A and B are shown apart, each in its own frame.
Chain A
């Protein structure tokens, strides 16, 4: 029981962590590229790294925080333009090849010892150099220092945290999340205010239940505290909303048209190049934003934002369901929670002589790779995607 509680606690921490939120934002961007427009951007980590560098370097060198954010977004915008101009008129493979190469180049350049004064070379920029201004803008409930268990009332308070309380709680939580997923998948079967209300209600209920079952204790405004979590997940919600607004519009319809067949859209008099460029830029901006959130809790480490991270983004996107609104978020959470589960479980149940800590981490990555393959082969629509859409091979 203790082992299980430990594993579940680890999964819960991973689920709420700012890193998960950051990647979710980047995946939302990738969803605009790949899910809606069909652009094979293999360099989302490059966009993230640029955002992180833009913010980190400018704040480190004394510029205001807001200017840092603008620099990060600006860098991503320019990057998108440089990559898009030569490739967006060509077949999709070219974009893939150029973006993956360019993202790697950014990483190499960032690691270069010539730029130590700017990028801190391979060591990167420590978080302490740029995250203070972020914490200084924390507002009311977060101010005042100290730490919080978000929900003071938790399972310890019911029958002294007996096993049956927890088991019951877990069952209800699984039920709530399952019905949430069902509701999201059901698409337009029952739409309107009632459905949206129910979704919100279920989300709130699940979050409270989870906090009740897994009480988490963080500082209010620490390096890795509630303030950062609050901002990160609020940004996730805002990004989802923006994407929702964008894709239900005629512009979003154009994106999907381009994904299906560019030439058809071109023959209808639409400027395909411009729209693809807009999509590349918007998704890239989300990526940069994700990158900034990603480094706020740690440091700007070029090697932590290499192509592996891009591949994680793809796995998360396909897991949740490409071309859906909530798929990226759900997918990212499932991805990180799942990986935490594999890691924690193999730590808890596999003896050290077979898998030590580091090897357990490698093993969890291998599982990720294989999972990605299985997913694409057997369930390409992910959890939330529409199977009907995929019946027609294009």
Chain B
């Protein structure tokens, strides 16, 4: 058993090399200006957003000496200028080339180039011509609510699994976020690199991630439980795993953002809400899968057994439930869900990085704690609340940089008044 654990860890250590040798590096999409030290600098940005780029706009750069340069944005909305002198530059756009019904929010943007060898950004913000402050507030609210629900559903996929693992084994799995990243990165390999159709690639990702869950429990967690390793120690093992996985991803795909599908997503507009087709599909899939999990927990034998183990492992074991089997199943399902969440997340935000999962880890924990540690439905509720809070906070005047802080604030306030979480049960003493 001990040797098995060591073997697994060794395999974990070697895996990155195998993957490294089999994967080629992806090619860049657009030729962009690259600054050379002490020779040139760049002024560059994207017209529109990365998810919804705007092509064919003429961008104008006015140099300090008054000369003008023009470029047209590419399909990915990107534009760039190479310059060789420092000084104050002005960027604007040719209004005639803007898409119909749009105008610039401010006509020009000033760029102060104080040093060569660097890139400078200049964001030309577009807005629709019929823009007016009041209607936009309501529209923004609706749009953010939809975004919040979308984030909440994706978080829910991952946090239900996290919560189930906590419920059945008592373990706070810090490596859960890495499973989410794994889903996105495997999506990149299956779909983008190896050319599988998206739906097939998605299924492969879920199966692959569920497999990692199965083998993790079999090769690592179950032996550790048998060894009687304390929960705190196990938690630190998950931290080690998280660290190893993070850097494995970095070794494999580097620090860049990789995308599951190459082409830009299509967008639909429903009244005030603009949403990519991928987001719609992601939300539908999440709802279906979450309902299936909920149904399974409530209505099937295994689901009831799982809840029994969550409730009281000793009692469940005494009443003839094979807790090891249940826990194995929980790990498998939880990791599969995390993988699904990862690939959907990568589709929705159009790309995934080695640390994308990490960025949502605290949202996951906040969701699970908010709902009540160890209750699957609490995690669902918590995830939706956290998703909404994060997306709605900027609408209510929270600076965008602080939107995660709002989620934490809510968590801390809740812990003060209802420590066991929304759906949790208090603990027994004595």
A–B direct contact (CB < 8 Å) = yes
Residues of A whose CB lies within 8 Å of any CB of B are 38, 40, 42, 82, 85-87, 89-94, 96-98, 100-102, 104-105, 108-109, 111-114, 263, 307-308, 311, 314-315, 318, 354, 359, 362-363, 365-378, 380, 393-394
List the B residue with the shortest CB-CB distance to A375. B240
In whole angstroms, how far apart are the Cα atoms of A97 and B166 in the complex?
13
**In the bound complex, do residue B239 and residue A98 qualify as a contact, i.e. CB atoms below 8 Å apart?**
no
Cβ 8 A contact of A369, one of B245, B366, B368: B245
Most chain B Cβ neighbours within 10 Å, of A89, A100, A113, A354:
A100
Chain B 226-250 interface mask (CB, 8 Å, partner A; 1/0) = 0111101111110111111111101
**In the bound complex, do residue B13 and residue A367 qualify as a contact, i.e. CB atoms below 8 Å apart?**
yes
Q: Known contacts A100-B361, A363-B251, A369-B247; can you find 7 more A-B pairs with CB under 8 A?
A: A40-B235, A100-B174, A109-B401, A367-B13, A369-B244, A372-B236, A372-B240
Chain B 290-315 interface mask (CB, 8 Å, partner A; 1/0) = 00000000000000000000000000
Could you list some 23 contacts between A and B, CB below 8 A? Answer: A40-B232, A89-B419, A90-B419, A91-B427, A96-B172, A104-B362, A113-B401, A114-B399, A362-B248, A365-B244, A365-B247, A366-B16, A368-B244, A369-B243, A369-B244, A370-B12, A373-B9, A374-B9, A376-B234, A376-B237, A377-B229, A377-B233, A393-B230
Which residues of B are found within 8 Å of A363, using beta-carbon distances?
16, 247, 251
| In the assembled complex, B142 has its CB within 8 A of some CB on chain A | no
**In the bound complex, do residue A376 and residue B240 qualify as a contact, i.e. CB atoms below 8 Å apart?**
yes
List the A residue with the shortest CB-CB distance to B248. A366
In whole angstroms, how far apart are the Cα atoms of A93 and B368 in the complex?
11
**In the bound complex, do residue B251 and residue A362 qualify as a contact, i.e. CB atoms below 8 Å apart?**
yes
List the A residue with the shortest CB-CB distance to B405. A105
**In the bound complex, do residue A374 and residue B13 qualify as a contact, i.e. CB atoms below 8 Å apart?**
no
Residues of B whose CB lies within 8 Å of any CB of A are 2, 5-6, 9, 12-13, 16-17, 166, 172, 174, 224, 227-230, 232-237, 239-248, 250-251, 358, 361-362, 365-366, 368-369, 373, 399, 401-402, 404-405, 408, 411-413, 415-416, 419, 427, 429-430
**In the bound complex, do residue B429 and residue A102 qualify as a contact, i.e. CB atoms below 8 Å apart?**
no
**In the bound complex, do residue B230 and residue A92 qualify as a contact, i.e. CB atoms below 8 Å apart?**
no
Which residues of A are found within 8 Å of B373, using beta-carbon distances?
91, 93-94
**In the bound complex, do residue A94 and residue B9 qualify as a contact, i.e. CB atoms below 8 Å apart?**
no
CB distance from A119 to the nearest CB of B (A): 11
List the B residue with the shortest CB-CB distance to A361. B247
Given known contacts A373-B241, A380-B233, A97 and B358 CB-to-CB distance under 8 angstroms: no
**In the bound complex, do residue B13 and residue A108 qualify as a contact, i.e. CB atoms below 8 Å apart?**
no
Which residues of A are found within 8 Å of B366, using beta-carbon distances?
97, 101
**In the bound complex, do residue A105 and residue B404 qualify as a contact, i.e. CB atoms below 8 Å apart?**
yes
Cβ 8 A contact of B242, one of A82, A104, A367, A369: A369
List the B residue with the shortest CB-CB distance to A101. B362
Given known contacts A86-B416, A366-B13, A100 and B401 CB-to-CB distance under 8 angstroms: no
In whole angstroms, how far apart are the Cα atoms of A225 and B409 in the complex?
42
Which residues of B are found within 8 Å of A378, using beta-carbon distances?
2
CB distance from B424 to the nearest CB of A (A): 11
Cβ 8 A contact of A311, one of B16, B233, B239, B419: B239
Given known contacts A112-B401, A370-B13, A94 and B239 CB-to-CB distance under 8 angstroms: no
**In the bound complex, do residue B244 and residue A394 qualify as a contact, i.e. CB atoms below 8 Å apart?**
no
List the A residue with the shortest CB-CB distance to B12. A370
List the B residue with the shortest CB-CB distance to A394. B230
In whole angstroms, how far apart are the Cα atoms of A111 and B399 in the complex?
13
CB distance from A257 to the nearest CB of B (A): 16
CB distance from A244 to the nearest CB of B (A): 24
In whole angstroms, how far apart are the Cα atoms of A108 and B393 in the complex?
15
**In the bound complex, do residue A368 and residue B362 qualify as a contact, i.e. CB atoms below 8 Å apart?**
no
**In the bound complex, do residue A96 and residue B235 qualify as a contact, i.e. CB atoms below 8 Å apart?**
yes
In whole angstroms, how far apart are the Cα atoms of A365 and B247 in the complex?
6
In whole angstroms, how far apart are the Cα atoms of A366 and B2 in the complex?
21
Given known contacts A100-B365, A377-B229, A366 and B247 CB-to-CB distance under 8 angstroms: yes
Which residues of A are found within 8 Å of B365, using beta-carbon distances?
97, 100-101
Which residues of B are found within 8 Å of A354, using beta-carbon distances?
17
List the B residue with the shortest CB-CB distance to A82. B412
In whole angstroms, how far apart are the Cα atoms of A362 and B17 in the complex?
12
**In the bound complex, do residue B244 and residue A100 qualify as a contact, i.e. CB atoms below 8 Å apart?**
no
**In the bound complex, do residue A102 and residue B248 qualify as a contact, i.e. CB atoms below 8 Å apart?**
no
Given known contacts A109-B405, A393-B228, A94 and B419 CB-to-CB distance under 8 angstroms: yes
Which residues of B are found within 8 Å of A307, using beta-carbon distances?
358
List the A residue with the shortest CB-CB distance to B373. A93
Which residues of B are found within 8 Å of A368, using beta-carbon distances?
240, 243-244
List the B residue with the shortest CB-CB distance to A102. B408
In whole angstroms, how far apart are the Cα atoms of A40 and B239 in the complex?
12
CB distance from A248 to the nearest CB of B (A): 24
Cβ 8 A contact of B402, one of A102, A108, A311: A108
Which residues of B are found within 8 Å of A91, using beta-carbon distances?
373, 427
CB distance from B159 to the nearest CB of A (A): 12
Which residues of A are found within 8 Å of B9, using beta-carbon distances?
370, 373-374
**In the bound complex, do residue A109 and residue B419 qualify as a contact, i.e. CB atoms below 8 Å apart?**
no
In whole angstroms, how far apart are the Cα atoms of A380 and B245 in the complex?
21
CB distance from A143 to the nearest CB of B (A): 35
In whole angstroms, how far apart are the Cα atoms of A109 and B358 in the complex?
16
List the B residue with the shortest CB-CB distance to A380. B233
Cβ 8 A contact of A98, one of B227, B401, B411: B411
**In the bound complex, do residue A373 and residue B237 qualify as a contact, i.e. CB atoms below 8 Å apart?**
yes
Which residues of B are found within 8 Å of A359, using beta-carbon distances?
251
**In the bound complex, do residue B251 and residue A366 qualify as a contact, i.e. CB atoms below 8 Å apart?**
yes
In whole angstroms, how far apart are the Cα atoms of A377 and B239 in the complex?
13
**In the bound complex, do residue B416 and residue A108 qualify as a contact, i.e. CB atoms below 8 Å apart?**
no
In whole angstroms, how far apart are the Cα atoms of A370 and B245 in the complex?
9
CB distance from A196 to the nearest CB of B (A): 32
**In the bound complex, do residue A94 and residue B404 qualify as a contact, i.e. CB atoms below 8 Å apart?**
no
**In the bound complex, do residue A108 and residue B401 qualify as a contact, i.e. CB atoms below 8 Å apart?**
yes
Which residues of B are found within 8 Å of A108, using beta-carbon distances?
401-402, 404-405
Which residues of B are found within 8 Å of A315, using beta-carbon distances?
240
Given known contacts A307-B358, A373-B240, A92 and B224 CB-to-CB distance under 8 angstroms: no
**In the bound complex, do residue A362 and residue B405 qualify as a contact, i.e. CB atoms below 8 Å apart?**
no
Given known contacts A372-B240, A373-B237, A98 and B402 CB-to-CB distance under 8 angstroms: no
Cβ 8 A contact of B416, one of A85, A111, A263: A85
Which residues of A are found within 8 Å of B430, using beta-carbon distances?
263
Which residues of A are found within 8 Å of B402, using beta-carbon distances?
108-109, 112
Most chain A Cβ neighbours within 10 Å, of B365, B366, B399, B427:
B365
Given known contacts A114-B401, A370-B9, A377 and B369 CB-to-CB distance under 8 angstroms: no
In whole angstroms, how far apart are the Cα atoms of A372 and B243 in the complex?
9
Given known contacts A105-B408, A114-B399, A311 and B243 CB-to-CB distance under 8 angstroms: yes
List the A residue with the shortest CB-CB distance to B419. A90
In whole angstroms, how far apart are the Cα atoms of A6 and B314 in the complex?
57
Cβ 8 A contact of B236, one of A82, A93, A376: A376
**In the bound complex, do residue A362 and residue B247 qualify as a contact, i.e. CB atoms below 8 Å apart?**
yes
List the A residue with the shortest CB-CB distance to B407. A101
Which residues of B are found within 8 Å of A100, using beta-carbon distances?
174, 361-362, 365
Which residues of B are found within 8 Å of A94, using beta-carbon distances?
369, 373, 415, 419
In whole angstroms, how far apart are the Cα atoms of A113 and B412 in the complex?
25
Which residues of A are found within 8 Å of B239, using beta-carbon distances?
311, 314, 372
In whole angstroms, how far apart are the Cα atoms of A87 and B233 in the complex?
20
CB distance from B229 to the nearest CB of A (A): 7
Given known contacts A369-B247, A370-B9, A380-B233, A97 and B240 CB-to-CB distance under 8 angstroms: no
